[in-house]
């Protein structure tokens, strides 16, 4: 049997057996919904409905209902898109990259982080979809034979690369997530007593029986999918960054964008995981599985990626001066001292200064501080995209075209609405899905369970 | 009349030891049902490593080929477009711009091809009935399946050998 050093903190606390793990996760699904859950889902679905209303109004009227103008033709829509895709990065990083690195602490958080990824990517996909204005012709982004003659989509354009990147990322993450879910749905199926629920989970579990050969294949599939999802994580946000970096707008035309966007994405993704999991572990009584050590590990990832983002901000500033390009240096001087300097300084404070607090062990291991800082980081990362996008284009080459962006109620409504849809989906997941990867957690119980580790020490 | 034994154990290590002991006596274990992958059971009961990884590689290279072929047809052969003077008359010259889509499409084909093959080979598809002998095998129990059909020993001899292992429960069924 695999042993773990005694000095390592156990990953599963308390006196747990295999059965306890099943009961702790399946119990809440069998029981009635707690009142807190009902309140939360009511609020989030009301917001979601409002958001859907705003989207329908937008589609019916045209994107003129947004605050976009001739100079600032891209604003909240693309900011929200990049923000949501960035959040989506943590899930696959946790389940794929950490699997390759054999990081066992991922097992308590990968399921919900991946759910978060999938829902976040759905939210992201809404924005380019509705930004087309005529969503009913959105199939034009695909290389399909058409009535216009031999006209194909442009494979030289990063916007088209994005179509392929986001759809691949979404569908591969979904498949990866579902393959892990199948055995756990089987566990729920075999525990359910109500015939209807048993039927539904039976259908979802695809008749999984846990045969040795099936587990053998399961592990191979998980490993290979992790192997190919890892470069996918890095490619998706690199391509998103190229939407900007390959254009010739001062402030966007930067070669450091891909690594800078990827670390920013992981940074914001982990912050959102913290926000969601700190509530979920309390609400669903999962404190023994997702505990201070897990939070600390995630905070360490936040310091590392946050610092990379900080270095990227400073590098951008330095290079804009060092390049000697007047337009480039103006774009950056304008960022920190122009009309949008308030947004720039919110971004700097939230993303560069606040995560550095995690160097203190007390703060890194404090759940309250982590929750507060995770929200600060979420806000900061939204402003990062806003700053990059709006401040770079609101000053045109031609000063007579200089303008500003003012969001309308529909801009705000659509953004808040996606938050509502996201939380509704996530709450639905927390209620009906196995929120911990049961089959994976059981494999580490003997090497990393508190009771087993104590017994080992006493031997 | 053939007999099938479902031998239940309540621990993965006990199961592995028992399987080794039985295999040492020349008994063939047909299958093992467990709530999670029990590492080390495969070589004992003779489960070979899956070839799904090779399949994934083949799907992915198919994706690479299709993507390059498609882009060559759309952008070079059928309708070369002059976009900002970028090279548009040969695949090799235009290749750097085609790499992202080639990569994404390879991953798409590799991942989905592998997942579909995995589900088909397992026979785990929407609506399929479960075949685990006991609902507890998806919770905390481990079941070994042994049949008289696959073994030269008689049913009684098999039962005696099985009962020497520290089992939790034993159920026997007849089948034709």
Which domain range does residue B17 map to? 2-49+130-175
User: What value, to the nearest 5°, has the Cα angle with vertex B86 and ends B80 and B87?
Assistant: 60
The answer on pLDDT for A284 being more than 80 is yes
pLDDT score recorded for residue A387: 92
Q: How many CB pairs under 8 A join A and B?
A: 199
Q: How many domains does chain A have?
A: 1
Whether residue B73 sits in one domain with residue B35: no
CA-based nearest distance A23→chain B, Å: 9
Q: Which of B97, B132, B137 sits opposite A156 (nearest CB)?
A: B97
The reply to whether residue B36 touches residue A443, judged by beta carbons under 8 angstroms, is yes
Inside any domain, residue A148 = no
Inside any domain, residue A258 = yes
Among A294-298, B65-69, B91-95, whose mean pLDDT is lowest? B91-95
Per-residue pLDDT tens digits for A405-456: 999 999 999 999 999 999 999 999 998 999 888 888 888 888 888 887 778 7
Spell out which residues of chain A touch residue B74, defining contact as CB-CB under 8 Å.
143, 152-153, 155
Whether residue B137 sits in one domain with residue B155: yes
Token pair in block for residue A1: 């049997």
The answer on pLDDT for A368 being more than 90 is yes
Inside any domain, residue A145 = no
Inside any domain, residue A76 = yes
Whether residue B162 sits in one domain with residue B101: no
Spell out which residues of chain A touch residue B81, defining contact as CB-CB under 8 Å.
154
CA-based nearest distance B69→chain A, Å: 13
Decide which of B81, B99, B122 is a domain's last residue.
Answer: B122
Token pair in block for residue B100: 């992202």
CA-based nearest distance B112→chain A, Å: 7
Nearest-angstrom CA–CA distance, A64 and A131: 10
Whether residue B138 sits in one domain with residue B109: no
Distances (CA, A) of A212 to A221, B29, B30: 14, 11, 10
The reply to whether residue A212 touches residue B42, judged by beta carbons under 8 angstroms, is yes
Inside any domain, residue A139 = no
The alpha-helical segments, DSSP class H, found in A323-437 are 326-337, 341-348, 361-364, 367-386, 392-393, 409-432
Spell out which residues of chain A touch residue B33, defining contact as CB-CB under 8 Å.
209-212
- Among A99, A160, A214, A446, most B C-beta atoms within 10 A, so best to mutate, is A214
Among A130-144, A371-385, B48-62, whose mean pLDDT is lowest? A130-144
Indicate the pLDDT class of residue A2, thresholds 50, 70 and 90: low
Q: Which of B35, B110, B112 sits opposite A210 (nearest CB)?
A: B35
Please name which of A126, A86, A108 lies closest in space to residue A420, comparing C-alpha atoms: A126
Q: How far is CA A112 from the centre of its chain?
A: 11
Which domain range does residue A423 map to? 18-134+153-453
Q: Could you tell me which residue, A304 or A91, shows the higher pLDDT? A: A304
Query: Under a CB-based contact definition with an 8 Å cutoff, are residues A225 and A176 in contact?
Result: yes
Whether residue B95 sits in one domain with residue B57: yes
Q: How many domains does chain B have?
A: 2
Inside any domain, residue A10 = no
Whether residue B158 sits in one domain with residue B140: yes
Chain B, nearest residue to A441 by Cα: B36
The answer on pLDDT for A150 being more than 80 is no
Spell out which residues of chain B touch residue A150, defining contact as CB-CB under 8 Å.
78-79
Number of CB atoms found within 10 A of residue A320's CB: 21
Residue B2 belongs to what H/E stretch? strand B2-9
Nearest-angstrom CA–CA distance, A295 and B10: 33
The alpha-helical segments, DSSP class H, found in B72-132 are 91-122
Number of CB atoms found within 10 A of residue B132's CB: 23
Inside any domain, residue A284 = yes
Residue A149 region by backbone torsions, left for phi larger than 0, else alpha for psi between -120 and 50, else beta = left
Residue B63 belongs to what H/E stretch? helix B52-71
Token pair in block for residue A433: 């899905």
Chain A, nearest residue to B88 by Cα: A156
ipTM of this complex prediction, to 2 decimal places: 0.91
CA-based nearest distance B27→chain A, Å: 17
Please name which of A167, A125, A123, A122 lies closest in space to residue A142, comparing C-alpha atoms: A167
CATH code: domain of residue B18: 3.30.70
The reply to whether residue B36 touches residue A232, judged by beta carbons under 8 angstroms, is no
Decide which of B122, B144, B162 is a domain's last residue.
Answer: B122
Q: Could you tell me which residue, A8 or A82, shows the higher pLDDT? A: A82
Instruction: Give the 3-state secondary structure of residue B120.
Output: helix
Q: What are phi and psi of A398, to 5 degrees?
A: -100, 110
Please name which of A342, A356, A378 lies closest in space to residue A310, comparing C-alpha atoms: A356
The reply to whether residue B108 touches residue A186, judged by beta carbons under 8 angstroms, is no
Whether residue B64 sits in one domain with residue B33: no
Please name which of A298, A306, A304 lies closest in space to residue A354, comparing C-alpha atoms: A306
Instruction: Give the 3-state secondary structure of residue B90.
Output: coil
CATH code: domain of residue A244: 1.20.1630.10
């Amino acid at each position: 049997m695999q042993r773990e050093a005694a000095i390592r903190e156990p990953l599963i606390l308390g006196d747990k057996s295999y059965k306890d793990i099943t009961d702790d996760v399946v119990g809440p699904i069998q029981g009635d919904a707690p009142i807190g859950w009902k309140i939360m889902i009511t609020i989030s679905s009301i917001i979601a409905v409002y958001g859907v209303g705003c989207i329908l109004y937008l589609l019916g009227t045209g994107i003129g209902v947004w605050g976009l103008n001739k100079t600032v033709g891209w604003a909240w829509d693309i900011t929200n898109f990049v923000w949501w895709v960035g959040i989506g990065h943590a899930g696959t990083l946790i389940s794929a990259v950490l699997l390759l690195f054999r990081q066992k602490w991922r097992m308590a958080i990968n399921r919900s982080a991946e759910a978060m990824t999938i829902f976040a990517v759905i939210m992201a996909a809404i924005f380019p979809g509705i930004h087309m204005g005529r969503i009913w012709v959105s199939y034009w982004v695909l290389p399909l034979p058409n009535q216009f003659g031999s006209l194909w989509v442009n494979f030289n354009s990063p916007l088209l690369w994005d179509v392929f990147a986001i759809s691949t990322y979404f569908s591969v993450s979904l498949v990866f997530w579902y393959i892990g879910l199948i055995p756990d749905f089987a566990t729920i199926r075999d525990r359910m007593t109500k015939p209807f629920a048993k039927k539904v989970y039976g259908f979802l579990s695809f008749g999984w029986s846990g045969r040795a050969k099936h587990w053998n294949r399961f592990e191979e599939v998980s490993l290979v999918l992790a192997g190919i999802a890892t470069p996918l994580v890095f490619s998706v946000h690199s391509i998103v960054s190229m939407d900007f970096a390959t254009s010739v707008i001062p402030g966007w035309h930067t070669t450091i964008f891909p690594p800078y966007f990827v670390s920013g994405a992981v940074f914001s993704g982990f912050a959102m995981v913290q926000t969601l999991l700190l509530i979920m572990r309390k609400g669903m009584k999962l404190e023994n599985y997702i505990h201070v050590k897990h939070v600390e590990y995630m905070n360490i990832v936040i310091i590392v990626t946050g610092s990379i983002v900080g270095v990227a901000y400073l590098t951008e500033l330095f290079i804009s001066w060092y390049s000697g390009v007047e337009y480039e240096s103006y774009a950056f001087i304008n960022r920190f001292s122009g009309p949008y300097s308030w947004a720039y300084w919110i971004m700097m404070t939230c993303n560069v200064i606040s995560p550095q607090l995690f160097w203190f062990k007390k703060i890194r291991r404090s759940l309250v501080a982590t929750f507060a800082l995770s929200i600060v980081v979420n806000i900061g990362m939204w402003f990062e995209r806003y700053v990059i996008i709006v401040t770079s284009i609101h000053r045109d080459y031609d000063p007579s075209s200089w303008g500003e962006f003012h969001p309308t109620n529909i801009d705000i409504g659509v953004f808040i609405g996606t938050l509502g849809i996201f939380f509704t989906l996530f709450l639905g997941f927390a209620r009906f899905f196995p929120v911990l990867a049961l089959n994976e957690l059981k494999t580490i119980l003997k090497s990393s369970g508190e009771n087993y580790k104590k017994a080992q020490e006493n031997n | 009349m053939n007999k099938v034994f479902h031998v239940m154990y309540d621990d993965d290590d006990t199961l592995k030891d028992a399987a080794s002991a039985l295999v040492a006596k020349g008994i063939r274990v047909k299958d093992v049902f467990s709530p999670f992958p029990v590492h080390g059971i495969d070589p004992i009961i003779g489960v070979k490593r899956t070839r799904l990884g090779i399949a994934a590689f083949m799907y992915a290279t198919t994706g690479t080929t299709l993507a390059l072929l498609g882009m060559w047809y759309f952008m070079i052969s059928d309708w070369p477009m002059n976009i900002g003077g970028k090279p548009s008359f040969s695949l090799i010259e235009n290749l750097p711009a085609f790499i992202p889509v080639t990569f994404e499409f390879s991953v798409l084909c590799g991942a989905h091809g592998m997942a579909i093959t995995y589900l088909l080979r397992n026979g785990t598809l929407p609506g399929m009935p479960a075949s685990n002998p006991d609902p507890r095998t998806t919770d905390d129990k481990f079941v070994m399946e042994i049949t008289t059909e696959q073994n030269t020993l008689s049913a009684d001899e098999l039962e005696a050998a099985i009962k020497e292992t520290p089992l939790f429960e034993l159920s026997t069924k007849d089948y034709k």
